[in-house]
Structure 1
Amino acid sequence: MLTIERATYDAIVAHAMRDHPDEACGVVAGPAGSDRPERFIPMVNAAGSPTFYEFDSLELLQLYKDMDDRDEEPVVVYHSHTATEAYPSRTDIGLASEPGAHYVLVSTREAFDEAGGNIDGPIEFRSYRIVDGKVTEEDVTVVDQLPVHEAPHS
């Protein structure tokens, strides 16, 4: 199950809406081994495409260096679908390289009309685990605040 703060959920949805009709993409990092999505990091879709996303390789390299310096890992890897349901495509499954991450898909297909005007239709927000090409949908719980994280005792 993915537990995510309302502010992070809202930020992911806002990014998807802002980038429509192109797919949006990004990461929510958290302390290594914690499964806590804490730091929202919107990324540039280098493909600039309504049907495909691609992280900019230099931006991604910098992100991984930054996460390593902070002892973080990608807890959520997200992107949007602008014309299809929030379910991983074959390409998405092939790109899934973080077995511990939650893969969040946001579909904006019903939020806009054919001319690209925002009609405030429903947004789909779904999360999956993708390991070795196997897709498993998981529940999403949105909370006002993540529970207080206790540091391990040494």
Structure 2
Amino acid sequence: MTLRITRAALEQIQRQAAREHPLEACGVIAAPCAQKLASRVIPMRNQAASPIWFSFDPREQLEVWNELDERDEECRVLYHSHTTSEAWPSREDIAHAQDPQVHYLILSTWAEARHRARSFRIVEGRVFEEQLSIQE
């Protein structure tokens, strides 16, 4: 499995994660329903305002999902940052992963991280790392 993402989108969420550090940053990346390339970043507010956890505001999430429907887009990626650990799904990330079709992108802002960005599919509690294909 591979996440196809534009370089501009990846750079945008990396800047967001750095700007919001030490709190976790979060959001979604959308793509037109007929395309596989994740390109439109929609930053969202971390309602938890936490350095170790994120949660979307339910009202904001509903607005975003309605906008996706209006634009004939899909949520292709759910992303968030880890501020004190590697870019690997936590137990909470795995427990809250609901959609096996969505890519879960994690960016680490931890100074000691070996990998700054990694993508996963999470299916019934099982984690599958996937390749990142960065497109111009």
TM-score by length of 1: 0.83
* Residue in structure 2 matched with residue 40 of structure 1 by the alignment: 41
For structure 2, the residue ranges without an aligned partner over 5 or more in a row are none
Aligned identity (percent) is 45
1:118-150 deviation per Cα after TM superposition (whole angstroms, max 9, x unaligned): xxx876100001111111001112121xxxxxx
Alpha carbons 1:110, 1:123 under 8 Å: kept = no
Alpha carbons 2:86, 2:115 under 8 Å: kept = no
| Cα RMSD for the two superposed structures | 1.5
Asked if residue 138 in structure 1 is aligned to residue 130 in structure 2, the reply is: yes
What's the offset of the Cα at 1:97?
Answer: 1.6
More strand by share: 2
What's the offset of the Cα at 1:35?
Answer: 2.5
For structure 1, the residue ranges without an aligned partner over 5 or more in a row are 112-120, 145-154
Distance 1:134 1:92, change over 3 A: same
SS in 2 for 1:29: strand
TM-score by length of 2: 0.93
* Residue in structure 1 matched with residue 72 of structure 2 by the alignment: 71
Structure 2 counterpart of 1:130, which letter?
Answer: I
1:96-123 deviation per Cα after TM superposition (whole angstroms, max 9, x unaligned): 1222111000000017xxxxxxxxx876
SS in 2 for 1:139: strand
What's the offset of the Cα at 1:75?
Answer: 0.5
1:43-84 deviation per Cα after TM superposition (whole angstroms, max 9, x unaligned): 000000000000011000101111111121111110000001
Structure 2 counterpart of 1:44, which letter?
Answer: R
What's the offset of the Cα at 1:38?
Answer: 2.1
Distance 1:128 1:8 in 2: 17
What's the offset of the Cα at 1:33?
Answer: 5.2
Distance 1:52 1:141 in 2: 27
Bigger-Rg structure (1/2): 1
Distance 1:27 1:16 in 2: 13
* Residue in structure 2 matched with residue 126 of structure 1 by the alignment: 118
Paired positions, count: 135
Distance 1:36 1:143 in 2: 8
Distance 1:74 1:133 in 2: 20
